[in-house]
A and B are shown apart, each in its own frame.
Chain A
Amino acid sequence: MHRNRMEVTRRAFLKVVGAAGGGLTLAIGILPAAALAAAANRVAGAGAAAAPAFAPNAFLTIARDSSVTVIVKHVEVGQGTYTGLPTLVADELDAAWSQVRVEGAPADAKLYHNLLWGPMQGTGGSTSLAEAFDQYRAAGAAARAMLVAAAAARWRVPADTIEVRNGIVSHGTKKATFGELAADAAKQPLPASPAVKDPKRFVYIGTHVPRTDSKVKSTGTAIYTQDIHLQGMLTAVVARAPRFGAQVKSIDAAALKGLPGIRFVVEVPHGVAVVGNSFWDAKKGRDALKVTWDDASGFRYSSSDILAEFRRQIAAPGTIARSEGDAAKALAGAARKLDAEFEFPYLAHAAMEPMNCVVRYDGDRAEVWNGEQFQTADQAAIAKVLGIAPEKVAIHQLFGGGSFGRRANPHSDYVVEAATIVKGLAVQGQRGVPVKLVWTREDDMHAGYYRPASLHSMHAGLDAAGSLVAWQHRIVTQSILAGSPFAAMVANGVDPTSVEGAADIGYAIPNLAVDLHSPEIAVPVQWWRSVGHTHTAFAVETFIDEAAQAAGKDPVEFRKALLAHQPRQLAALTLAADKAGWAKPLAPGATGTKRGRGVAVHKSFNTAVAEIAEVTVAADGSFKVDRVVCAVECGLAVNPDIVRAQMEGGIGYGLAAALFGEITIKDGAPVQSNFNDYRVLRINEMPAVEVHIVPSAAKPTGVGEPGVPPIAPAVANAIAMAGGRRLRRLPLTLAA
């Protein structure tokens, strides 16, 4: 019955040593590092790719077996970049899709910087396809031109009489594969400006191309940071400060003496790492470790104190982010005035894979295995910790088990933690020992970096005809950029990530004022899928809905009239309303329930998304989102099915926050710790979702984030239409 026998003994993989160190025991049955890195980086298609015979540029190689390996400079965290960028190359190359393999690029700012971010390599802001669209097409076109030139020389025919289709280069009856031409192609001159295709000739772009990672992700073979096992690797789990800002005073490792498998104890920036032979050893050691904390400078606020501080600040004018006309005067003279205040909590990203990072440091060079989102920033941060040059830090790119912004930490927090641990080991004479830092789910939720909490106050004025003539929007929220390496992006005292979606509001309102307070609070914050739009879209889209209602106008028509000069929003809104059957009344629900339909439209990262939510409210005030109709205008949809998937996922992710998401702070520490008290969306709470794409030939814009912002306001507006209250605090609840 059984094929093999495996032995699990403590002796074989664990050795008891004191916390001060000891001899290394080697783990059994694990892949050597190089093989593992190769396996991890090559995710799509068949195993060992042949050595490249033709490497025309940094973005692809072609092997003798005709496989085309596309080197993707962005991390794949689910958004589909390991399919989207290869699609561009394959199309321009006229390769067969089955030839295509994918490899994650190393960290290299020169070759792989994000063209929208200056000199830095990194993934974020829904830029992957948008920034690399021309670059990866040109890379494929250059390779194609060189293959064609090689064939032309071999067959002595003019290059423009040669055809390339589905991976075969031909002239009449003469045929050659890419592999057969690769060596000759490598000798051809690089074309200066390779001609890309006329879009009419696209074979993959705009069609359904299957994801390159579906197979490995359906069979458990995709490799994430969590899955790395290197020879001699140890695992670290960190004891963390009881509140933000507390410092380590003293460490008592005596309790670890009796525990098996504990190897080292290393102090890190916000805690103390216990390093053991396996996760379970290290976690038990971490739980047993006694750390005395210096609380003198620790943060002591609770959520109510933070809100009180926000309220104190919101009473006074802030730094101006946008000003048109004279909002105060227009408001004073308005026939009808509306006022509202909106409250948003901190949110955890809660990616399915908690933060983790593998580092090996031999005293001179370091190797990192990570689902790496801020490649060159993290590379520099690790190099700084280790006191080596950034080029001496090699990063092996892996799949990220979700991120939603978290793996792009402005302070490189978890990678710095991992680097600090291996540095500590090196000091203890343990150079070259790889360490996997593993955050537990509780660490992931407690160690911070949240979507910042915020308070908004809004005033709107309508004239006698019901036209919107005045709009005042004041925001109080912590700056994400201030105090980070990206602080230079704060312009004239305004952090653009705090006001995006508000200062650039698309509605044509003649008198408009948006201002900002950025209180300094010790709760660590960072971008969370769609960043500032997560709160600004809610405030703007529910308040505009109130204005429409006050004006006695249909919410879709009221918006359309104000979006006459915003073609993307207008197109998305029109398509969504059409597909949702907005003109027809909503079917009633069961007796005792009320149904409502709400709309929201919002542009973020240059993509406009309209969502129409249908909600059923029960007599007890509980409600269910039944259906969401979404329309997206994102320029050319390179892979329409991935666009739809990102809208579906964005809606689900946004809905989780709308219904449940809240990190509360008590006495300087987050209260929630796991999925029991930080609820997320489950399948029974997921509405039916329909996604429609506005046809467009414009250059593509991002889709990873823009599906998120409209869902919460669409649901809140639907609840209002069902006769519920206007909800102005997230998460949404109708209970008294």
Chain B
Amino acid sequence: MSTFFVNRNRVDVSSDVAPDTPLLWILRDSLKLTGTKYGCGLGLCGACTVLIEGKPARSCQVPLSSIRLGTDVTTIEGLATREARAVQAAWQKLDVPQCGYCQSGQVISAASLLAGNRRPSDADIDRAMAGNICRCATYVRIRAAIKEAAATLG
């Protein structure tokens, strides 16, 4: 059995669940936390980004067997930091999403950027966000909304 926490809820995974099952599919298919999206399955697009111990990670690349006892996982459904709220408010103020499918991942990446850097430069934003593909190319607004969120965080 493996035990970890998702959005502060304890999750016990029975030992007969295949150890190679990616965290992404545990979240989506077993826990029905569908805010975390599948986009590529290879760690290339960032749609599946969650926080593991507070750090952004691609959940499609995290097999169950690698999740250590007691690990804290935060998904878009459980994201509640000040930075996250500022990012989500800025996202709505600037109407960032188009189709929206990539945006859970974008929001998580942006919130973790701001958690470590309250005044990100364009280069900082590029570095933190280049792993998150948006096929609707909402990048102009993602950049502006990160700056807007940074301003509201003071």
Contacts and interface: CB of A to CB of B under 8 A. Distances in A.
A137 to B, nearest CB: 23
A170 to B, nearest CB: 31
Nearest to A228: B34
Contacts of A5: 9-12
Contacts of B100: 78, 213, 216-218, 222, 399, 401
Contacts of B88: 218-219
A352 B91 contact: no
B133 A2 contact: no
A314 interface: no
Contact of A221 (B12, B28, B35, B135): B35
B52 interface: no
A278 B24 CA distance: 12
A4 B39 contact: no
A653 B98 CA distance: 13
B40 A3 contact: no
A218 B14 contact: no
A8 B3 CA distance: 10
B153 interface: no
B141 A648 contact: yes
A6 B104 CA distance: 23
Query: Which of A2, A79, A440 has the most CB atoms of chain B within a 10 A radius of its CB?
Result: A2
B18 A214 contact: no
Contacts of B5: 1-2
A220 B36 contact: yes
A78 B22 contact: no
A259 to B, nearest CB: 9
Nearest to B137: A652
Given A1-B8, A649-B136, A352 B45 contact: yes
Interface in B52-92: 75-77, 88, 91-92
Contacts of B51: none
Interface in B89-125: 91-92, 95-104, 107, 125
B42 interface: yes
Interface string A646-660: 001111110110000
Given A226-B37, A260-B18, A218 B42 contact: no
A680 interface: yes
Interface stretch (A288-296, A421-429, A683-691, A721-729): A683-691
A220 B25 contact: no
B31 A6 contact: yes
Nearest to B101: A401
A7 interface: yes
Interface string A1-25: 1111111111111100000000000
Nearest to B32: A229
Interface residues of B, number: 66
A58 to B, nearest CB: 26
B121 to A, nearest CB: 12
A284 interface: yes
B102 to A, nearest CB: 5
Nearest to A639: B95
B42 A648 contact: no
B17 A683 contact: no
A229 to B, nearest CB: 6
Contacts of A9: 12-14, 16-17
Nearest to A676: B44
A686 to B, nearest CB: 4
B139 to A, nearest CB: 4
Contacts of B98: 78-80, 402, 645, 649
A402 B37 CA distance: 13
B135 A402 contact: yes
A2 B101 contact: no
Interface in A686-710: 686, 688-689
B99 A684 contact: no
A353 interface: yes
Contacts of A226: 34, 37-38
Contacts of B103: 217-218, 220
Contacts of A656: 135, 137
A399 B37 CA distance: 14
A100 interface: no
A440 B42 CA distance: 11
B9 A8 contact: no
A264 interface: no
A683 B45 contact: no
A356 to B, nearest CB: 9
Nearest to B103: A217
Interface string A632-648: 00000000011001001
B18 A280 contact: yes
Given A77-B99, A217-B103, A280-B25, A675 B137 contact: no
A684 B14 contact: no
A431 interface: no
A655 B137 CA distance: 10
A359 interface: no
B16 A10 contact: yes
Nearest to B143: A683
A325 interface: no
A441 interface: yes
A681 B76 contact: no
Given A279-B25, A353-B37, A680 B141 contact: no
Contacts of B12: 5-9
Given A218-B96, A224-B101, A675-B40, A683 B76 contact: no
B9 A652 contact: no
A302 interface: no
A87 to B, nearest CB: 13
Contacts of A386: none
B14 to A, nearest CB: 3
Contact of B16 (A11, A216, A653, A676): A11
Contact of A78 (B8, B136, B140): B136
Contact of A278 (B25, B107, B125, B135): B25
A30 B32 contact: yes
Contacts of A681: 137, 139
Nearest to B16: A10
A459 interface: no
B9 A676 contact: no
Query: A-B pairs with the 10 shortest C-beta distances?
Result: A652-B137, A220-B35, A401-B101, A217-B100, A78-B98, A220-B76, A9-B14, A78-B99, A227-B34, A217-B97
11 contacts: A8-B14, A9-B14, A78-B99, A214-B97, A220-B104, A229-B34, A401-B99, A402-B101, A438-B38, A645-B138, A684-B126
Given A279-B28, A352-B136, 15 more contacts: A8-B26, A218-B100, A350-B135, A352-B45, A401-B37, A402-B101, A438-B38, A645-B138, A656-B135, A656-B137, A675-B42, A680-B135, A681-B137, A682-B130, A684-B130
